[in-house]
Every structure is written in C-alpha cells, then in structure tokens.
Amino acid sequence: MRRIVLLPLLLVLLAIGVAACGSDDDGDSTAAATAAGTAAANAGRPSSEPLRVGATPVPHVEILQFVQDELAARAGLTLDIREFTDYVVPNTALDEGQLDANYFQTPGYLEDQSRARGYDFVSVADVHIEPLGIYSSKVRSLDEIADGATVAVPNDPANEARALRLLDAEGVISLEDPDSETATPRDIAENPKDLEFEEVEAAQTPRALDDVDLAVINGNYALEARLSPAEDALALERAAGNPNVNLLVTTPDLESDPRIVELARLLRSPQVRRFIADRYRGAVIPAE
C-alpha cells in the first residue's frame, strides 16, 4: 500500500520540479529579451556618462555652459566642461585620454599641432569664427604707427601667420606670399615702417599691449581682456570666407560616439547661433 501512495506523490513532486525549472528558463529568457530591448532602444542615444570637453574660457566655455544649462538635458547629454587658459594643454589632454573632445582651435592650428606633435584628431563640427584683431593702447589708427614701432604677434605658427596676413591685408606690411599659412617675420617682403616683431604666447598678447605699440590678438583672448573687437580693434579680419573657424575636435575612436554627435548638433543649433549673436554682437560669429 505504501508503494501505491508514494508513487503519485513522487509524480507530483517531479511535476513541480519540472515546472520550477521551466520558470527559471523563462525568467532568464525574459531578462535577456528585456536587456536586448533596452540596448536596442538606447542605440544611437547619448550615453549617461558625462562627456569631458576641454575649452578656453571665452567664448568657448560660455557657449558650452549655455548648451549644458539650456539644451543638454532634453537631449540626454551631460557635459563635464574643463577650462584651459592656453592652446597647448587641451590637445595634450585629448591625446592622453583625459578629455573626450576639445573646443578651442582652428583648422590651421589643428593641422600645425597634428604635424608637429603627431596627434591623430578629427574635426566634427565648425562652430564659430573669432575675427583676429589689431589693438593698441598708444595709437588710435594704423595711420599713426611710428617708424620702428613694436608689434606683438602670437608665437605659434598658425596664429603668427594669420596675424601677419592681417597686417598685410591692412597695408602695414607686405608678405612675399599674402596667402601663406606658414608666414613668419622673415617672409615680409616690405616693411615700410621698419616694424619690430615680438613673438609671445597667444594668451599673453593682451598683456603685451602696455609694452608694445601694436598687438595682434585672438578674439577669445581679446574678450577675456575685456576688449571689444567691434569697438576697440584698429582692424579686424573679415568674416566672409574666413577659414579660421573654431572646431569641435575629438579622436577617430570617438567620432561616432552618440554624445559627440549630439554635442556637435547642439553647437550648430539655431539656439546656439542666437546665443552667440546676442551675447557677442559681432565679436564672435556663428559658422556657416
């Protein structure tokens, strides 16, 4: 009799065990399906990981801060904005993996630094133009420049050539090649005022104003020094056809990162263009 009673009981326990095993398999399948669905849903969207972007203070950090405050949250993007006060460290930090992107340099500077230091970077967005300007605390026009006057120009090759091209365009000097991307004072063909050139770090050109007669200053450093390019510059680069656009730059491995793609889109958005126009009033110009 006991054998007859135990047999149905064993069959019931076996059925329960099979059902339990089936339940675990279904749970694993459901979890896997859910994970796959979540991954598919998130494909192409910015990661929740903050995007580390290096930039110089004005206007780059200000523009990035506007993006962070007004646009990033709705786009699912978080920025970790890191401020640099020179043109060298942002590329070093990007190359060493301390940054995911940087935003401060022009194509000429990017090309020069990539050639000189072996960087492998890519530009992912043209954002704005900062017209280079000629400034002075001693004269009110280029016609007043005295013979033998001193001129401070940036000492990095790209910006020095750019400064000399502006002086050439304004008739202060004549270059052997007015379109040269590598011009130095040695490439000046005519120097009717016998100007003397002092090569200083770009960030220091505003501070040199009290010690020289003229200084050619990048737009961002002019703004930091509370100079108004539209009002204080004796001459400015022309915006039309200006190749010196400021770029969002990253590495080839991150070029397709959804966070990079989204930041590039936001930096070229109508909202950012309007912010640039309203805040800088011609001192910074949105790229076309």
pLDDT at residue 2 in the model:
40
Mean predicted confidence (pLDDT) in 179-207: 97
| 202: Cβ contacts below 8 Å, ≥ 6 apart | 86, 87, 154, 155, 156, 159, 218, 221
The mean predicted confidence, pLDDT, of the chain is: 87
Q: Which two tokens stand for residue 149?
A: 């006057």
Q: Residue 20: pLDDT above 50?
A: no
Q: Residue 149: pLDDT above 80?
A: yes
**CB-based burial label for 10 (10 Å; 0-12, 13-18, 19+):** exposed
Helix (H, G, I), strand (E, B) or coil at 206: coil
- Measure CA 232 to chain center: 26
Confidence of residue 281 (pLDDT cuts 50, 70, 90): confident
Compute φ and ψ for 213, nearest 5 degrees: -85, -35
- The alpha helices in 140-225, defined as continuous H runs, are 157-169, 219-224
Mean predicted confidence (pLDDT) in 134-156: 97
Helix (H, G, I), strand (E, B) or coil at 182: coil
Residue % of the chain over a pLDDT of 70 = 84
Angle at which helices 258-267 and 270-280 pack, to 10 degrees?
Answer: 50
Neighbours of 238 (CB within 10 A): 11
What does pTM read for this prediction? Answer: 0.78
Q: Rounded distance, CA 97 to CA 111, Å?
A: 19
Q: Residue 250: pLDDT above 80?
A: yes
Instruction: State pLDDT tens for residues 21-42.
Output: 333 444 444 444 333 333 333 3
Q: Residue 114: pLDDT above 50?
A: yes
The more confidently predicted of residues 75 and 6 is 75
Q: Residue 18: pLDDT above 60?
A: no
Domain annotation for the chain: domains and CATH numbers: 51-131+243-286 (3.40.190.10), 133-236 (3.40.190.10)
Mean predicted confidence (pLDDT) in 268-277: 97
